[in-house]
Structures are given as structure tokens and as C-alpha cells.
Amino acid sequence: MDNNNLNDSFQQAAVPNADENYQLNTENSQQYYYNTAPQTARTKKKPKKKKKKNIFLTVLKKFFMVIATTLLSLFLVMVITGTIVATALTVYVLDFMEDATNITLQELESGSDTYFYGNKTNEKGEKELVVLQSIKTDVQRIPVSIDRIPQNVRDAFVYTEDERFYTHDGVDYKRTFAAFINMFLHIYNTQQGGSTITQQLIKNLTGDDEYSPQRKIREIFSAMQLEKTYSKDEILEEYLNYIGFGGPINGIQLAATRYFGKNVEDLTTPEAAVLASIPQSPQFYGPFVETYDEEGNLIVDGRANNKIRSRYVLSKIYNNGAITYDEYQEYLNTDIIYTDSEEYKKLHPESDIDEMEASQKIYTWEVDAMMYEAAGYLMSQYNIDLQEAIRRINKGGYRVYSTLDDKMQEFMEERFKDINNLVSADFVRKWVDIDDDGNFEEYLPHIGFIALNYDGSVKSLIGDWGEKDTSLSTSFAVTETRQVGSTMKPISTYGLALETDYIHWGTQIKDSAIKEIDGKPWPTNYSTDNIISLSNATYNVYYMLQQSFNTAPAHLCEELTPHEVYKFCKDRMGLKLDPDDEDLSPLTVGALTFGVTLENLVNAYIPYGNHGIYNEAHIVSKIEDSNHTIIYQNDGNAREAVSSETAWVMNRLLKNVIDNGTGMSAKLNNKVVCGKTGTTDNWYDLTFVGLTRDFVSGITVGYKYYNEKLQLPTSLHSADIWKAAVGDYIENNFNDTPADFDENPSVIVAPMCTATGMIAGDYCPKGITGYWKPSNAPVCTGTHGYVSSNNNTNNNTNYNNNNYDYNNYNQWNNYTDPNANAGVADNGYTDPNAGAYVDPNAGGGAADPNAGAYVDPNAGGGYAVDPNAGGGYVDNGGGYVVDGGGGYDAGGGYAVDGGGYDAGGMFW
């Protein structure tokens, strides 16, 4: 634009009416306007009236300005925060990408053999370290190339696990997005997975199966990186060689051999479908899986479950066009022949159907237990399941060391080869149609055994009788949980009551029920004919444990409370109980929810032979990794479970069970045995735990199923089987150790007053020798109507076991009944042998003048004379006699009424 045009524009824009009142001055090339209007006198203008401001609009304006400012500030904060988050996320993602670059398929080929070591006694009697078992990775997994894996097998796995495998870059974004949504919104009932085959392989390689977004992100980047490095065939080959098919079976080739006795290239499409069904949940879809509940009901039928899922696999193969419709229908109706079927065995009588077991010897019971314990450590350490833990052990590199005594183990394995070495097979054999389908099968009970040193180390174990024909078998010593019956009593109610001084050796407890269930008293006592066995009499603790009364522990549990007893069992005695076991029945008579293993049961008895010290049971002393670094070591983790005084009193109570009670058949010639028998309701299980100076051991006996048709004979005794199993070994191999346990010098040893259950005073009728903790050792000061023949009036008898000769202290001559002063004469009670009561009406003894003519001068006071003396129970060990009807204690001349008077200070 030139200057003239600019001036024209200026004129028009700045002075629109210049032609009327202004003239243009162009002198000196300066153009400007000047006013030509006539000048007039100035007049004063009126001031304009100010408008009032609108307060509402002002406030509104300020309000919106604040809002605008705030929003702008928030926007700026978000921009800054987003920048920081983006930076952090970038670093975070880069870290994942860096981790992803560290994963290679070569990890499948790495790892060394795992060795299990044990002790072997040489000719000089010295222990040498020997290899019990070696596990090689090429045995547990038999790798095959992708060229050997036929297309029908590939199709079965790809179309079931990852049908877009050949088109994605390692991640199926559709399935991944659905999995992420479900992780937060829980649309599906289960944890919906979005993993591709590549991602599953990553998880197997890393062992990282955490259920979290972080793990998924790591897995995604790793999968994408793996797909850039390896071909689809390489990834699929490693995947099929790696995945688990149940237990120790890993890889497609070993699975084909295990289940069908074939090589992978010979698998049919229906068989491929069976195998493709397993990896999702081997414990549920494994064709050989059968899981039963405690009542013998089948709760997991792996073969039936697999059949359903394999039909789904076939449908996926068909829907993806790999087979025709006719083939699909044919395959749906194809019968599968497994290697455990009779049909297969007839077709292949000489065939070795298991390459794994053909390549190495079957695991012994010892190695089985070592494997399970080592797996347990890995499970707790890495939060993985049993299958994954065993898989990692199979991968190799570990050295696992055993605690077993090879001499004892060799003896026990030979003894358990034939059930007739333990009990007559004919006596326990049953032919039963358990399903009522007309097919009768032979059943023999399973018998497990374990022996523990007092430091907790396993000395010997046998999972069952007979030849062991598979690895990782069901073990009735360490893996199978069973009911324990009365072996529960010393490690629950009696143990806690002794430890808290709630009872002592002679505490008197009434033999009565504590409640009714369905109109019947509970509990009742042991009876072979299911007749209710309750006397309502009062007995001493030692006798009630000796005879395995159920009523005493029920009273104790009720008074101490199930909660406290449950805590004692778990925290002090190490029992692995279910929360539902915090109840009277489980804690009183051992009717546990799921039971415990024999190992756990025997372990709980260690304190009673070990001065109150508990050591955790273990067969593995240590584990080393491939670099010989010790990663696990178990020395028992010693701790005090009960006081040494409690342990010694219980030890003597358990000795009395063997000397005079239900365990008498377990007695040995040259060794003291302490122990406890256990019998469950309906005779489904028998147990026995026996303690000797050198170790503690136990057995369990029972049929596979809990079924009323499979009850053990009522005349079968667990103590007999224990002695048949281990008695000879104990008697012939420990002559260089003391016969009995070391005494506890703090515990008071003295005769018991048969009238009160306390330590006998000078005028007391004396019964069995008892054991009292110094913190709970009441001495009876009563006279019981006795007149001493030697005029000894000293009540301060010293009950030190070393200087008190109670056997020669005869106080029974001229015995006077304590109720004589109450008007009831018991003339003529004479017992020349203290502790061996002679019933006045038995066989012509001294006559009770009140026999047949009941007199109770203290009616309501709790004293009564039994009109039928001689009709009751006689305890020859302690001179304690209680009549069958009502609690007459003839051994002490002391009548205990039906109200349950406990001279020790308790009422029941």
C-alpha cells in the first residue's frame, strides 16, 4: 500500500466527517487536520448521573473468575502430574522390558541332577553318606522335537489354550483386556485367564504366578520379547515339553507314555484331547486322580472330569476346521484305553508302561517323604503349590539329606513286606460290595508306621505294608490323615490339666456324661458291643487314663474350655488341627474334622519322653542348592511344650497304661514302654503311640474307605500290631542303653490314699504308687477311722522315693470304716496286702452287716454303703474298688455318693 492510500485510509478511519469541520493542512509535507468550526463561548456541562452498580452481577463475575482460575490451576497441576506419571511409567515399562530380555528358552535345558542322600552303616559300624536316589531332568521330562509332535496333538493344545497363537505377537489383546477387567470387576466367578501359550511358557520359565497387574505386565513384555527372538514352532515345542500333567509327569512325551503307553507321534486325536485337558488343573482333570472324603465318598473323579473337558477340546478342534464333522462325532464316541486298565494290560502283558520308572528305580518310602518335605519347604518359601514344588525339584540342582537309620529302616521294610508279619490277613480280610452293585472286592487294612528320635528326626517310616510299586505313593505315615481316637487324650485335655495343676495323679472324677445328643448321653466309654457304658462312679485320673475312659477328658475339656485345650494342642503340642476341631468331641475323643497324619500324632508325644521339650518332626536334615549353599536346615527347632515335671508325671501315667491298662500287650521284656491306644467310633481306625527310652513310634490301622461295611474286628488291638512291628527290633538293638527313662528328681513319688486320691498320710489306706508335681501335691491328713498298730501319730511323712518304703508299711490291720462313727459298722475289713483289696462279700470274706440292708445315716451328705458290695469293678493295682451301681469305694472303706464328691477339691 502507498502513502496516498495510507492517508486516505487514515482520513476515513480517524475522521469520518473531516469535510464538515476540518481542513487538511499539507504544509511542509505534513498532512494533518485542523478544526475550522467557529469558536463559541464554553458552557458548563451538567454532570452525568452515575448509574448504581449491580452487586449480583459483580459477585457472579468474581465467582466465575475464581472458578476459571481454579480450573486453570487444576489443569496445570494435571499437566505437571501427567508428565511425572508418564516419566515414571516410562521408567517402569523400561524396567519390565529389561527383565523381558533376560528370558531365554535355554533355561529349559539348564539344571543338574537332584540327589537324595542317606546314611549307610558299613562293616565297621560307621555311618557313610550314600546316594539313595538321583532325579535326572531327562527322566522326569523326555524332550521331543517339534517334528515328532504330530499336527493333531498341536491342534488339540493350540485350539484349546490359544486359538490365535499363530497370528498374535505373544499377547492376545482381546483375552488380556477381558482378564484385566475381570481382575477388578470380578465379572466371572473364577480368575479368568488371558494368557497365551507364550505367556504360559514365560510363567513356567520364571515360576512367577502372582495374581496381580504387575505380574501380567511383566508377562506381556516378556512374551512379546520372546516372540521376537524365537519362532512359533520353537515356542510351541518348549511349551509342550515343559508343561505338567500331574505329579512328577512333565512334558508331552512322558504324559503319552504314562497314560497310554505310547510315543507322542502315535497319539490319536481323542488321546491328544485327553492330554490337552489336563494342564489346566491336573489335580481335577488327571485321568488317574481319585479323591475320597473321610466317609469313603468319591469327591473328585479325574477320569470323569477329563471326559467332559476332552469333549470340549474336540469341539474346539472341530470349530477351527481341523477335523470334519464325521470325525468329530466318531471321536466323541471313541473309548480311551489307559495304561491302568485291564484291557491294556492284556494287550501289553510284558510292556514297561512307565519310562520314568523304567529309567530309574521307584522311590522308596524314605525318598517319598524327603521329596514331600523338600517340596513343603519350597511351597512355603515361594508360595507355590505341591505340583510346582515337585516340578522345581525335578528340574534339578538340589542335594537333600535324610535323617533315617538305615539299619532300622531295612528291618521295618522287611517286616512290612507281608501283612501276616503284623496281623493275620485272614483275620482282617473282608469281601465287600461297597457300592451295592453286586461286585464284591477284597479289602485289607492299610498299616502305616513311623519312629522319631526325641530330637524330631525321623528314624524309620513305612507308608503301608506290601511291596512299594510306585513313586510318591499315598503314605499312611506322612501324607494320609486319619482319625486318632483316644491317643488324643494325653496330648489334649490331660496334658493341659496336668500342666496347669488342674489335676494330679489321684484326682477323682465322676464317670458320667456331660450332656445328651439326640436323647443319648455323651460321651460314653469304650464298648465292643455299642452298649452304653457309664457307671456314674468316681475314679482317679490315673485309672481313667489307664482304662481310656471318655468321660474324664470330656469333663476336663468342658471345665478348661475347648478354646484353651485347642490352643494347647496347636501351640504347645504342635498338632495341625482344623479350626472346626475347637470343640468337645474332637478334643475329647479325637473325632477330628479331617484327622492328622501319623507323623504329626507321634510328634506330639515327644515332650513326654524328652523332659517336656518339643522338637519338630523332620526327615530332611538339610537341603543344598546347585552351588552347595545350604538353603534349608532343620534341627528340630526345640522349644518347651510342658514343664519337665508335667512331662514326667504324664510319662508315668502312660507307663501305667502299658502296665495295667489298655496297652498291656505292648509290654517288652527288657525295655519300659509308655504309650496310649486309640480306637475310633465304629472301629474304622486303630492307633497306638509307644515311647521307649530310645525313640517314640506309632502305628495306624484302617481300611481305605470309611464305610460301615469296612469295620476292623473289635478284638483287634493296636498295641499288638505295634509290638509285632517294632518290638523285636527294640529288644534286640538297645541293650547298651538304660531300660527306663531318666527320673525327674523334682517329682514326688509316694503311695496314693485310696480314699481321697491325695498323697497318703500316716493313717491312709495306701494304694498304687503315684507321681505328683511339687506344685500340686496335696497330702491327705485324714484318719479314715484308722487306729495305728504302731501308734505312729506323725503326719509329716517324708515322701522322697529314695527313703520311703511304703511296701512294708502295713496299715490295714484292724481297719475301721470311717463311717462307723456315723452309725454304719463295717466290721472285719482286713487287708494284709495293701493295694490288693479283698471284698468282704467275695468268696466268703468278712461279712458286711449291712449287706442287703441299705443304711445311709448321712443321707444327703454324700456317704453311702453299697448293699451289694462285691458287685463292682476291682482295680488290683491300687486297691480301688467301686461298685457297679453307685460309687462305693471299698478299697478305702470310703463311700462316694452319686453326687460326685472329689476329695481333691473338685465337683463333677
Annotate 239-295 with three-state secondary structure: HHHHCECCCCCECHHHHHHHHHCCCHHHCCHHHHHHHHHCCCCHHHHCCCCEEECCC
Above 50 in pLDDT, residue 835?
Answer: no
CA distance 425 to 442: 11
Predicted local confidence at residue 869, as pLDDT: 38
Above 50 in pLDDT, residue 653?
Answer: yes
Three-state DSSP class for residue 93: helix
Which is higher by pLDDT, 44 or 250?
Answer: 250
Helix H or strand E segment including 462? strand 458-462
Question: Residue 849: pLDDT band by 50, 70, 90 thresholds?
Answer: very low
pLDDT tens, position by position, 209-238: 666 667 677 778 888 888 888 899 999 998
Mean pLDDT calculated for residue range 504-519: 95
User: Does residue 218 come out as left (phi exceeding 0), alpha (psi in the -120 to 50 range) or beta?
Assistant: alpha
Helix H or strand E segment including 700? strand 696-702
Predicted local confidence at residue 361, as pLDDT: 73
Above 50 in pLDDT, residue 842?
Answer: no
State how far Cα 388 lies from the chain centre: 18
The pair phi, psi for residue 582, each rounded to 5°, is -80, 70
pLDDT tens, position by position, 702-731: 998 888 899 999 999 999 999 999 999 999
pLDDT tens, position by position, 682-704: 899 999 999 999 999 999 999 98
Question: Residue 194: pLDDT band by 50, 70, 90 thresholds?
Answer: low
Question: Residue 317: pLDDT band by 50, 70, 90 thresholds?
Answer: very high
Three-state DSSP class for residue 510: strand
- Residue 542 contacts residue 477 (beta carbons within 8 Å): no
CA distance 513 to 490: 20
The DSSP secondary structure of 153-188, one letter per residue, reads: HHHHHHHHH-TTTTTSSS--HHHHHHHHHHHHH--S
Which is higher by pLDDT, 611 or 858?
Answer: 611
Predicted local confidence at residue 71, as pLDDT: 84
Predicted local confidence at residue 78, as pLDDT: 83
Three-state DSSP class for residue 570: helix
- Most confident option among 175-184, 611-620, 789-798: 611-620
Which is higher by pLDDT, 811 or 509?
Answer: 509
Which is higher by pLDDT, 675 or 876?
Answer: 675
The DSSP secondary structure of 868-905, one letter per residue, reads: TTTSSEEETTTTEEE-TTT-EETTTTEEPPTT-B-TTS
Question: Residue 94: pLDDT band by 50, 70, 90 thresholds?
Answer: low
Candidate from 30-44, 137-151, 399-413, 816-830 with smallest mean pLDDT = 816-830
SS3 for 600-641 is: HHHHHCHHHHCCCEECCCECEEEEECCCCCEEEECCCCCEEC
Mean pLDDT calculated for residue range 826-845: 37
Above 70 in pLDDT, residue 129?
Answer: yes
Predicted local confidence at residue 465, as pLDDT: 96
Q: What percent of the chain has pLDDT over 70?
A: 71
Which is higher by pLDDT, 371 or 170?
Answer: 371
pLDDT tens, position by position, 169-192: 878 777 767 666 666 666 555 444
Predicted local confidence at residue 482, as pLDDT: 95
Question: Residue 254: pLDDT band by 50, 70, 90 thresholds?
Answer: confident
pTM of the model: 0.59
CA distance 386 to 736: 43
Predicted local confidence at residue 64, as pLDDT: 80
Predicted local confidence at residue 74, as pLDDT: 83
Report residue 289 as a C-alpha cell. Answer: 486322580
- Residue 760 contacts residue 899 (beta carbons within 8 Å): no
Above 50 in pLDDT, residue 888?
Answer: no
- Most confident option among 385-389, 407-411, 828-832: 407-411
Question: Residue 870: pLDDT band by 50, 70, 90 thresholds?
Answer: very low
Contacting residues for 570 by C-beta, under 8 A, at least 6 apart: 576, 577
CA distance 813 to 841: 18
Predicted local confidence at residue 183, as pLDDT: 60
Predicted local confidence at residue 46, as pLDDT: 56
- Residue 645 contacts residue 708 (beta carbons within 8 Å): no
Question: Residue 860: pLDDT band by 50, 70, 90 thresholds?
Answer: very low
CA distance 408 to 405: 6
Above 60 in pLDDT, residue 778?
Answer: yes
Mean pLDDT calculated for residue range 653-666: 97
Q: What percent of the chain has pLDDT over 90?
A: 51
Above 80 in pLDDT, residue 240?
Answer: yes
Mean pLDDT calculated for residue range 460-465: 97
Pairing verdict, β 114-121 and 399-402? parallel
Mean pLDDT calculated for residue range 349-355: 46
| Domains detected in the chain | 3-35 (no CATH), 137-359 (1.10.3810.10), 450-733 (3.40.710.10), 747-908 (no CATH)
The DSSP secondary structure of 355-421, one letter per residue, reads: HHHHHSPPPPHHHHHHHHHHHHHHHHHHT--HHHHHHHHHHS--EEEE---HHHHHHHHHHTTSGGG
Report residue 617 as a C-alpha cell. Answer: 518332626
Candidate from 45-59, 706-720, 754-768, 853-867 with smallest mean pLDDT = 853-867
Average pLDDT value for the chain: 79
Report residue 612 as a C-alpha cell. Answer: 517336656
